């Protein structure tokens, strides 16, 4: 039976999390928002999809975070000629033993960076499905459990760029959050330029969190209190994406083809608890839910062609949604 972490233990864990931010900041300038979302995913077993144009330090940030954590890390560069076997492994014939042996692929690691995941065809992207959802892979007739923690952090370029493939909806839904990575500010870009043009720049970081720490943080997040009124608030938000007219959003109903799946309510619950924990609280506020709603919902609400024609974005719809739905206390 798991025991609850004491207040002092929780404070110690929260202090270590702050140290993670500090260590990542030694290498990555700005991008605190992206780092925060990666941490939420790590602590709630939620895979994260990072979207942004090339050169925004997506890969550098994930690589640095892996170095700060005491975890096995693999980077997989997704290319048009990548095969599923290159990802999960395959059976090879051993001539000496006259039998087939399993050669495990790079998916057998704690932290997977699927770099430019939308540059590979659907059959390769789909090879991630079992691993992401079931935390296991099947090679031949044998199923292998993946080490815990297991987290996929995928980066992708906007789908309108040449040589990219839209991710299958079934796979996109398995990502806890889809995070849009924007350009740095003028001040941050000035610091980036100074650091990266310095030949003596040292990108070494100290290891802060162990696997055991991560498991303890997960326990602490699980103990964060989410009131019944906020549970119902989450459900109302999700149902409003499926039947906007029932919530007084007549115009928005013309733009939504499919609403959010049940995974949205689960992940919104977990992400809000993680926000509360990272803020040093053992209870969730409505603001915690609103803070992560955009990233949890933006890839789960499917817009129709009319929305595209009228220039309506998913983020704009989510903003309207949050303004319309109130917490019933």
Under the banding of pLDDT at 50, 70 and 90, the label for residue 3 is low
Render pLDDT for 175-227 as a digit per residue (tens, 0 to 9): 999 998 888 888 888 988 888 787 666 678 888 888 888 899 999 999 999 99
Who wins on pLDDT, 117 or 270?
270
Do 285 and 159 belong together in one domain?
Answer: no
The CA distance from 80 to 308, in Å, is 28
**What's the CATH number where 192 sits?**
3.40.50.300
Do 118 and 203 belong together in one domain?
Answer: yes
Mean pLDDT, the chain, rounded, equals 85
Do 230 and 100 belong together in one domain?
Answer: no
Q: Given a cut of 90, is residue 79 above it in pLDDT?
A: no
Residues of the chain with pLDDT > 70, as a percent, come to: 95
Do 207 and 261 belong together in one domain?
Answer: no
Q: Given a cut of 90, is residue 137 above it in pLDDT?
A: no
Which residue, of 161, 196, 216, is where some domain finishes? 216
Render pLDDT for 149-179 as a digit per residue (tens, 0 to 9): 888 988 887 766 666 777 777 778 889 999 9
Long-range contacts made by residues 135-138, C-beta under 8 angstroms, separation at least 24?
137/88, 137/89, 137/107, 137/108
**Burial annotation 207-233 (CB, 10 A radius, 16+ → b, else e):** ebbeeebbebbbebbeebebeeebeeb
Render pLDDT for 226-272 as a digit per residue (tens, 0 to 9): 999 999 999 999 999 999 888 888 888 888 888 898 999 999 999 99
Do 259 and 151 belong together in one domain?
Answer: no
- What pTM was estimated for this model as a whole? 0.86
Do 199 and 231 belong together in one domain?
Answer: no
Do 287 and 308 belong together in one domain?
Answer: yes
Which residue, of 176, 195, 216, is where some domain finishes? 216
The domain containing residue 209 runs over which residues? 7-216
Render pLDDT for 276-317 as a digit per residue (tens, 0 to 9): 999 888 899 999 999 999 999 999 988 889 888 888 888 989
């Amino acid at each position: 039976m798991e025991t609850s972490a004491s207040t002092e233990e929780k404070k110690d864990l929260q202090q270590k999390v702050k140290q993670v931010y500090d260590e990542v900041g030694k290498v990555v300038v700005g991008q605190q928002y992206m780092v925060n979302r990666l941490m939420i995913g790590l602590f709630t077993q939620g895979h994260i999809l990072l979207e942004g144009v090339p050169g925004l330090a997506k890969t550098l940030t994930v690589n640095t975070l892996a170095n700060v954590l005491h975890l096995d890390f693999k980077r997989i560069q997704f290319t048009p000629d990548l095969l599923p076997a290159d990802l999960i492994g395959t059976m090879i014939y051993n001539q000496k033993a006259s039998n087939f042996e399993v050669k495990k692929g790079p998916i057998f690691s704690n932290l997977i960076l699927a770099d430019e995941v939308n540059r590979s065809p659907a059959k390769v992207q789909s090879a991630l499905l079992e691993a992401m959802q079931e935390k296991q892979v099947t090679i031949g007739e044998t199923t292998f459990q993946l080490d815990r923690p297991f987290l996929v952090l995928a980066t992708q370029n906007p789908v309108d760029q040449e040589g990219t493939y839209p991710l299958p909806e079934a796979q996109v839904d398995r990502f806890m959050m889809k995070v849009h990575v924007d350009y740095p500010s003028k001040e941050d870009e000035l610091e980036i330029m100074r650091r990266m043009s310095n030949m003596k720049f040292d990108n070494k970081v100290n290891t802060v969190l162990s696997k055991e720490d991560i498991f303890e943080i997960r326990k602490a997040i699980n103990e964060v209190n989410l009131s019944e009124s906020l549970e119902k608030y989450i459900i109302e938000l999700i149902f409003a994406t499926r039947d906007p007219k029932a919530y007084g959003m007549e115009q928005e109903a013309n733009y939504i083809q499919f609403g959010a799946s049940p995974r949205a309510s689960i992940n919104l619950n977990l992400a809000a608890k993680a926000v509360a924990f990272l803020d040093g609280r053992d209870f969730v506020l409505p603001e915690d839910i609103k803070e992560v709603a955009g990233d949890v919902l933006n890839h789960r609400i499917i817009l129709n062609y009319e929305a595209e024609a009228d220039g309506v974005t998913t983020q704009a719809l989510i903003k309207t949604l949050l303004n319309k739905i109130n917490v019933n206390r």
